[in-house]
Structure 1
Amino acid sequence: MGSLGPEHGDVGHAHVTTDSRISGIMGDVVQQPSQPGEDPREADPPRGPGERPAGDHARHEPDDTRPGDRQSGVTRSEDSLSGDSLQPFTPADAAPAGPAPPGTGWQDGTDPGAALDPEQLRQFQQFQQFQQFQRFQELQRQKGAEAPQHGTDVPPPPVPYGYYPYPPRPPLWRRLLNKFVRRLVYVAVAIVGLIIAANLAFDYLFGSSDDGDRPAEETGGGTYETNQILSTSPQESVRMVYQTIAQGRADLACASFADDIQPRFARNMGAADCRAAVESLHQEVTSRNNYAEPTFPQDMEPAPEADTVRVSSCEMQVRDGPELGLFTVSRVEQGQWLITDHDPEPDPCPGAGSGG
């Protein structure tokens, strides 16, 4: 790329001066005769509206041409372009829109610069080089705006909507402590669950220890005349006595007897009262489950019309505890059966029927 000489001054002044000179050059080219013998001072062909004849500048400006310029038919560009006649040079000014007149060199392949003198051609080439230099600077500015600036930190891309960055991982000691605490919690929950399950199973098998706080009609005592508090069969009445003694429930065991029979049962068991008898018998039980479920013979079923049935402990199979003697069970209100008498039996019972 050529560089502008120092005679052109700064870039802005050189730009205006070069445009003015090139416009004058192109005007002079048009004013030259296209055919041999033609007079360049003849009138120009008709022009469009708003266009001025090429010779207007020569008619209105003072004649300041050099003798050499007048002989060659070329007017100085500085004097031919002044005032309002200064117009920027465009490719449309250099290249005619329509077909060029014959002999100008545009149609026959000759160089249009051949009609210019060396000084004007040099100025025209410098103007083209200056335009290319301006385009180059514009491209460099555009590329510099697109490139990232050096020394500046590029911010990270934002987190997409709906996603959150992972929190920092806690230290090792905290993770181990959390695991240890969780294991302790799991063990504590398991122990509490086992205790609750064991209590429920014990209450289901042997009854709840809170039955002493319940009303008598709900625990086997009280008035059986108005409440369903006794067993509905003679065998179940006797089984209830064995079961409550296995559990150590003196209140329930004594409630299975009539009030006047409770002291008799205590004397037959060698105790002062019914409660003392139940507590003493409970100490002799070696297996609560086996003692609470004695086995009755099949022929012990009473007749449907019978109101009193005798149940012998020696005819039953009692395991892991003492036999309790002979029970007399009578039918009472609401189809219930109440123990109305008790007699002692040998302990151990004679014969094979004794399971004690």
Structure 2
Amino acid sequence: MTDEPGKDLAPRQPQPPAPQIPQPPEPPIDPEQLRQFQEFQRFQEYQRYQEATGQAPQPPKPQGKRWWLVVLGSRIFWRALTFLFIVIAALWAYNHYFGTDDPGDIAQDSGGVTGPAQGLSAPAGLQGTVGMFYKHVSFADTTRACTLFLRDDVRQKFANAYGASDCAAAVKTLKAQVTSVDKYQQVMFPPDMLKTPATTKVTIDSCALTVEGGPRLGTFVVEKVNAGWVITDWSPSACG
């Protein structure tokens, strides 16, 4: 007898599914690489546009902060502004509560001279009243020189001694006799005159001074009026 076909064949078993090989996780996207990739895409678009039209579009400008916003957001700016405000406030407070006396308080009979008598803090010395008088003459500063005299009659006496119509004209006449401004404004006073006076009235004779580069300017009577020393009298001296 013949075998039936397929009778001796075992039924085919279903094949098990192939094992799933785990895929490695995708690496996270680097923001910097993404930015560079996007810029590269924009550059390609820019090139294609240039090839198609023959015109180059203006690339977009980066949107940066305005300079004044950067300044206002700076700590250094606000610290500097605060420091400046403190300095201004301190200066105002000092001048308000400890300011010096107004030299205009010592004005008396200023006559035709512009401004009141301007007294300095010492009668002698380079920064004293007589020292500054020599300096003003060396520069022909008629206003400042003549306002060191307290009264108009003393100014006129000084002018008459030099054959001038007024104090300002006398200062100009003396200026013409100055041969060295640098030496003339550096009048040297003897040590006794540089001490703080024991009285409020002193006499300073130009003959006792070391004067170079110009004429000697007579004898000054200097008095302390309020906070400043002013010339209250003048006369020619034996040496000039």
Q: TM-score, normalised by structure 2?
A: 0.51
Match of 1:230 in 2: 119
Matched, 1:327 2:220: yes
Counterpart in the other structure of 2:188: 295
Name the residue aligned to 1:258: 150
**CA distance, structure 2, for counterparts of residue 228 and residue 341 of structure 1:** 13
Alpha-carbon deviations, 1:263-314, whole Å to 9, x = none?
0011112211001111222233233332222100113357744232111111
Q: Give the drift of 1:342.
A: 1.2
Deviation at 1:247, TM superposition (A): 2.3
Could you tell me which residue of structure 2 aligns to residue 54 of structure 1? none
- Give the residue type in structure 1 aligned to 2:226: E
The reply to whether residue 338 of structure 1 matches residue 230 of structure 2 is: yes
Contact 1:285–1:322 under 8 Å retained in 2: yes
| Structure 1 pair 160–276 and aligned structure 2 pair: CA distance change class (3 A) | farther
Q: Give the direction of change, closer, same or farther, for the CA distance of 1:47–1:302 in structure 2 (3 Å limit).
A: closer
Say if 1:304 and 1:292 are closer, same or farther in 2 by CA, change over 3 A: closer
2:162 counterpart of 1:272: no
Per-residue deviation, residues 94-132 of structure 1 (Å, max 9, x unmatched)? xxxxxxxxxxxxxxxxxxxxxxxxxxxxxxxxxxxxxxx
How many residues are paired up?
148
Provide the C-alpha distance between the structure 2 equivalents of 1:160 and 1:253, rounded to a whole number of angstroms.
Answer: 81
1:310 aligns with 2:164: no
Higher fraction of helix:
1
Partners of 1:270 and 1:223 lie apart in 2 by 32
Tell me which structure has the larger Cα radius of gyration: 1
Alignment map for 1:1-356 (pairs within 5 Å) = 42-44=3-5, 45-49=7-11, 222-224=104-106, 229-235=118-124, 236-259=128-151, 260-301=153-194, 304-334=197-227, 336-346=228-238
Task: Could you tell me which runs of 5 or more consecutive residues in structure 1 were left unpaired when the two chains were aligned.
Answer: 1-38, 51-157, 164-216, 350-356
1:225–1:333 contact (8 Å) kept in structure 2: no
CA RMSD of aligned residues (A): 3.7
Provide the C-alpha distance between the structure 1 equivalents of 2:38 and 2:236, rounded to a whole number of angstroms: 90
Deviation at 1:333, TM superposition (A): 2.3
Distance in 1, matches of 2:231 and 2:132, equals 11
- Distance in 2 (CA, whole Å) between partners of 1:225 and 1:239 is 20
Aligned residues of 1:231 and 1:237 also touching (Cα < 8 A): yes
CA distance in 1, matches of 2:166, 2:208: 26
Give the residue type in structure 2 aligned to 1:267. Answer: N
Q: Is the 8 A contact 2:117 2:147 kept in 1?
A: no
Equivalent pairs: percent with the same residue?
31
Cα distance between partner residues in 1 of 2:39 and 2:192? 81
1:35-67 per-residue CA deviation (whole Å, 9 max, x = no partner) reads xxxx9x5334422448xxxxxxxxxxxxxxxxx
Structure 1 residue 321 displacement after superposition: 1.5
SS in 1 for 2:178: coil
User: Is residue 156–residue 167 contact of structure 2 (8 Å, CA) maintained in 1?
Assistant: yes
Quote the offset at 1:228 in angstroms: 9.6
* TM-score of the superposed pair, with normalisation by structure 1: 0.36
